[in-house]
Amino acid sequence: MEDLFKQIKKKQNPTRSIRKYLTIAAAIISFAFLTLYIYKSFNLNTEEQRIADIQTDDISPGGNRATITLSDGTVIELAKDQQGIIASGTQLSYADGQKLLEADKDIQFATMTTPRGGQYQITLPDGTKAWLNAASSLRYPSRFNNNERKVTLEGEAYFEVAPDKEHPFIVESNGQSVEVLGTGFNVNAYRDERQSLTTLAHGSIRINTADESKSIILKPGEQAAVEGKEIKVKQVEVDEYTAWRNGKISLSQADLSGIIRQIERWYCKLP
């Protein structure tokens, strides 16, 4: 009987050794996962904290704020309680009819500029309406020439283009040009963004790279992303990219760094 117990004991020893090693392995794996979790949480929280640390007193919600700079250098601050301006030749007036400027001489170009947290709407000489988002500028002529209607955008704007088949409307922006006849579309072309995004609400537009090496035609509900000499097209929810017109920020398609840049344009520069 004693010999039998010795044999059983010998058979049990390997099992105990295996359990010992399994316990050690499990502890190492658990420690590794815990370390990885803490590392990722720390990195994520570091970025999120930049947003959370903004003091309430520092936040100034967006509103109607903009300036007009004339070709002679004159700067006009636009009223915050107005809904927009109408540009017609050498005249500028608010949407309610109140005159803002009636120049004696011809003004070749003018530039509307919105600061961080500002937005404004303008009706161009041809009847096209443009809504400028925060930290943006739109340069336009007092009169369009006989061949085309061309404006230059830096930042973001939504356009409702007055139809004119004989005179295409062209928006030149960061790394691209958008050519339309009459349609509604949004252009996001901030210089600190990797891509210029053009989103079509209705109608039809042509997108060209800056060097005109590539060109595509967009359909409603499509978005073109221009980066260098490449153009990529995809289907999108247009409302997500035009929500800013209604005082909202849509963040569903943005990464964390993109979210931070949007908040900086609307409110303040993050530390």
What is the model's pLDDT at position 258? Answer: 77
Q: Any idea what DSSP says for residue 143?
A: S
Structural contact between residues 223 and 176, judged by C-beta atoms closer than 8 angstroms: no
Q: Is the pLDDT of residue 51 over 50?
A: no
Separation of first and last alpha carbons in the chain: 80
Measure the CA–CA gap between 157 and 110, rounded to whole angstroms: 16
pLDDT surpassing 80 at residue 161: yes
Q: Residue 45: pLDDT band by 50, 70, 90 thresholds?
A: very low
pLDDT classification of 104: cutoffs 50, 70, 90: low
Lowest mean pLDDT among 59-68, 77-86, 224-233: 59-68
- Please say if the pLDDT value at position 152 is more than 60: yes
Does the structure show a pLDDT above 80 at 13?
no
pLDDT at site 91: 87
**Which architecture, in CATH terms, is 64-266?**
Sandwich (2.60)
Q: Please, what is the average pLDDT of the chain?
A: 81
Cα–Cα distance for residue pair 234/198, rounded to 1 Å: 11
Lowest mean pLDDT among 39-48, 96-105, 107-116, 125-134: 39-48
Spatial separation of the C-alpha atoms in residues 176 and 210, rounded to whole Å: 4
Show Cβ contacts of residue 7 under 8 Å, excluding neighbours closer than 6 positions.
none
Predicted pLDDT of residue 144 = 92
- Give the integer Cα–Cα distance in Å for 182 and 175: 22
**Residue 190 clears pLDDT 70, i.e. is over it:** yes
List of residues 6+ apart from 117 with CB closer than 8 A: 60, 61, 62, 63, 65, 134, 265, 266, 267, 268
- What confidence category does residue 174 fall into, taking pLDDT thresholds of 50, 70 and 90? very high
| pLDDT reported for residue 53 | 42
Residue 3: predicted pLDDT: 52
| Interval 194-215 mean pLDDT | 94
- Residue 80: its pLDDT value, please? 94
CB atoms within 10 A of CB 225: 18
